[in-house]
Copies of this chain bind each other. A is one copy, B any other.
Amino acid sequence: MDGRAQDDISPEELERQLALYEPFTQAVRELVDATIRTTVDDHEIRAAQAEIEATTARLRAQQIDGPLGAHVGHGKRRQPWGNTVVGVRNPVAPPVHVEATGGEREGEVRTEFHLGAAYEGPPGLVHGGVSSLILDQMLGQAAGAGGKPGMTATLQLTYRRPTPLGPLRAEAWIERSEEHKTWARGHIVGPEGVTVEAEGLFILPRWAREALARRKADERAVPPYFE
């Protein structure tokens, strides 16, 4: 694998890369959690830091310039692996695995996920901005799942009750759409019910509409980073 875009990798190669990168990235998520929660002594912290710096140097021996999205992960069969919320190669992503529900509402998607120490705001609670981060992604994916993708233009969040860290779920769907504008809604659900509600307007920008028009003949009509 080098730094060039990989538009045409085979399904087998995609599987191979997932089997390699998913457990690797998950190991870094575990390290992030341990970094926050550890109470080992100063000597151990310094030793761990040296180990981490050595591992980073090993990984940086060969790397792409800049972020992942502009290079790889957006081919015909690829997911946005660098994405902050859903990216399987991004340790900051919980990651949220979004699936279509097949429900009655247009573009309806859902996810179950777990938020630990890395996503904390007030003690024991999910940071209010993390809820908005996940809902922005969910509403955008609902728009994409309904074939009406766009970038966030406006987003309104209403916080009904605190969201506790731990197991959570979220849902989103298309409310209505009009040409290249899509209005979507969704919410996060905790153990005691809905915690945060969101509604947003998603607009497909001109450059993306033009890109879509150019590749109309392609079997894939929607740029994958809008899904």
* CB of A187 to closest CB in B, whole Å: 14
Contact of A123 among B47, B70, B119, B157 (CB under 8 A): B70
Chain B residues near A34 (CB-CB < 8 A): 56, 59-60, 63
Q: Is the CB of B117 within 8 A of A83?
A: no
Q: Is the CB of B129 within 8 A of A67?
A: no
Contact of A31 among B55, B116, B119 (CB under 8 A): B55
Interface residues of A in 115-156 (CB under 8 A from B): 116-125, 127-130, 132-137, 140, 151-156
Instruction: Let me know if A10 is at the binding interface, CB within 8 A.
Output: no
Instruction: Let me know if A12 is at the binding interface, CB within 8 A.
Output: no
Contact of A68 among B37, B40, B53 (CB under 8 A): B37
Instruction: Let me know if A102 is at the binding interface, CB within 8 A.
Output: no
Decide: A69 near B137, CB < 8 A? Known: A48-B58, A83-B127. Answer: no
Instruction: Let me know if A178 is at the binding interface, CB within 8 A.
Output: no
Copies per assembly? 2
User: Contact mask A15-56 → B, CB, 8 Å, 1/0?
Assistant: 000001101110110111011111111101111110111111
Q: Is the CB of B154 within 8 A of A157?
A: yes
Q: Which of A88-96, A106-114, A168-176 participates in binding chain B?
A: A88-96
Chain B residues near A53 (CB-CB < 8 A): 27, 30
Number of interface residues of A (CB under 8 A): 90
Chain B residues near A41 (CB-CB < 8 A): 1
Q: How far is the CA of A42 from the CA of B20 in the complex (A)?
A: 7
Chain B residues near A35 (CB-CB < 8 A): 24-25, 28, 59, 89-91
Instruction: Let me know if A61 is at the binding interface, CB within 8 A.
Output: yes
Instruction: Let me know if A185 is at the binding interface, CB within 8 A.
Output: no
Chain B residues near A90 (CB-CB < 8 A): 35-36, 117-118, 120
Chain B residues near A14 (CB-CB < 8 A): none
Q: Is the CB of A225 within 8 A of B92?
A: no
Which A residues are within 8 Å of any B CB, using their own CB?
1-3, 20-21, 23-25, 27-28, 30-32, 34-42, 44-49, 51-56, 58-64, 66-70, 74, 82-85, 87, 89-92, 116-125, 127-130, 132-137, 140, 151-159, 162, 165, 225-226
